[in-house]
Structure 1
């Protein structure tokens, strides 16, 4: 038996008037997802434990079968694992975004315009991080360049007890009430403020503005955590597996769980990613002996954050056609029994431009025992089915164990 998870990050949404009061999932053409729903099982799952923030870190941890209440130690340590940054037990890690703030004399009066600096390229971002390192690093504080706008700060023997806000939660808002808070937060705030003088007139940003792109004119520090200790996925489920993703968070989660990570050329973390390349990598992993693949696609989430309605619908259709369709076709050709589960990790409603803790729909298709259902794979159809997992981490047990 082969097990395939297709995780469409942030795919769930609210009803949109421009789509005839349908959600993007309801509006999108998704023949493969709907086939899975007609022939499999549809339900709802709560991936965010009560009292925890609705992040892709806690949600994907739950989807992979790990109770976030036990295993979650912060977001950025997973990203560190993916980036090959070896952490000491005394290290505290922080996510460091390159963001676009409005212009102004006072830092606190600026507005968060874009959490991704118009999805700055990795090459541009790496050059900016190098210049930030030269000016801001200390012996106990080190920057590490990541992909696009996503970077890392490691602080050895850092004090703890911060209140830090994700930048994608405050798009369009004045940042004053969302700046780092807590006993030792002044160190982080000072670093963020100093970054403006380094970045604002940087040649790379001046060139971006000339090209009509938003500049990466500040860093934003958030997502602190400590070195994670996950039990191995194989020990939990007896399966060898691979994670396929463009973002360090998910790759790092897989590494910490003892799963292999496959790098796919052209995988970007946005709507222009290499969908077919991810699907082909998944099938190759299964043909080469793996029992389990976890295919993560960031595109719907990024479209939700950026309020890109057409692109969110398009990303769902591309995931259905180029990933689900290809995997389904290849598995049928192989003649091997398989199960596919498709779901988002959390909703990222276009109107809100950030994550919510609402339950999300899932569909499970089992090639051994096709059913005949009337439920569709969308938010309403999943609710009507009556199947629901209140504790998200138990869904993987159900998917693999039934």
Structure 2
């Protein structure tokens, strides 16, 4: 049996995972994050993003990391419902705005999808997803839109998922420095 040491123990951090989907909550728990859920948070477009935003703002007070998950864009991609996928992305955008507008200045926001799920394919694909890192001391590039095409030209370039997470850990001062 493989023994996994939670990332919260490895880095000596505290985290919460806000989601309406049991798989995500389970992975968060394995990572050492406190699972935060409510029956108003679902894995679909009817999820309560206002509640998720409020909980994220509450949780960041006592945590180093708060992971907020939105499943709806993936679901709508699988279901080949492009107009509903657009609505789900607009809800996500509104949730990020609610969080950003009330977030303390010393907090970073990182945004990414775990994979691409184009409606016309209906399955996960290997296409790169847009990523965003925003916060104190972050160099601002010329990009001011968050989408696949604009982010491809952003200052972060194309990085792998583990590099994205390692970048967050580095910003938190939790990564051992390399070199002299």
Normalising by structure 2, what TM-score?
0.86
After superposition, the C-alpha distances for 1:61-94 in whole angstroms (9 at most, x for unaligned) are xxxxxxxxxxxxxxxxxxxxxxxxxxxx6xxxxx
Q: Which residue of 15, 21, 34 corresponds with 1:260?
A: 34
User: Larger C-alpha radius of gyration, 1 or 2?
Assistant: 1
Please, which runs of 5 or more residues in structure 1 have no aligned partner? 1-88, 90-227
Shift of 1:375: 5.0
Normalising by structure 1, what TM-score?
0.40
Q: How far, CA to CA, are the matches of 1:311 and 1:346 in structure 2?
A: 18
Count the aligned residue pairs.
170
Distance 1:353 1:256, change over 3 A: same
After superposition, the C-alpha distances for 1:365-401 in whole angstroms (9 at most, x for unaligned) are 0144563523532111122236221x42121111231
Please, which runs of 5 or more residues in structure 2 have no aligned partner? 172-180
- Equivalent residue for 2:100? 328
Q: Could you tell me whether the CA contact under 8 Å between 1:342 and 1:362 is conserved in 2?
A: yes
Confirm whether residue 337 of structure 1 aligns to residue 106 of structure 2.
yes
Q: Which residue of 13, 16, 27 corresponds with 1:242?
A: 16
The correspondence of residues 71-150 of structure 1 with structure 2, limited to 5 A, is: none
Q: How far, CA to CA, are the matches of 2:163 and 2:12 in structure 1?
A: 16
Confirm whether residue 381 of structure 1 aligns to residue 150 of structure 2.
yes
The correspondence of residues 179-258 of structure 1 with structure 2, limited to 5 A, is: 229-258=3-32
Q: Could you tell me whether the CA contact under 8 Å between 1:264 and 1:281 is conserved in 2?
A: no
- Equivalent residue for 2:87? 314
Q: How far, CA to CA, are the matches of 2:163 and 2:66 in structure 1?
A: 18
Shift of 1:275: 0.8
| Greater relative CO (CA pairs within 8 A, separation 6+) | 1
The correspondence of residues 285-300 of structure 1 with structure 2, limited to 5 A, is: 285-287=59-61, 289-300=62-73
Q: How far, CA to CA, are the matches of 2:40 and 2:80 in structure 1?
A: 23
- Equivalent residue for 2:178? none
Q: How far, CA to CA, are the matches of 2:140 and 2:128 in structure 1?
A: 24
Distance 1:375 1:324, change over 3 A: closer
Q: Which residue of 270, 280, 299 corresponds with 2:44?
A: 270
Shift of 1:230: 2.6
Aligned CA-pair RMSD: 1.8
Q: How far, CA to CA, are the matches of 1:297 and 1:229 in structure 2?
A: 29
Q: How far, CA to CA, are the matches of 1:257 and 1:374 in structure 2?
A: 32
SS of residue in 1 equivalent to 2:153? helix
Distance 1:392 1:370, change over 3 A: closer
Q: Which has the higher strand share?
A: 1
Q: How far, CA to CA, are the matches of 1:341 and 1:378 in structure 2?
A: 14
Return structure 1 stretches of 4+ with deviation > 4 angstroms.
none
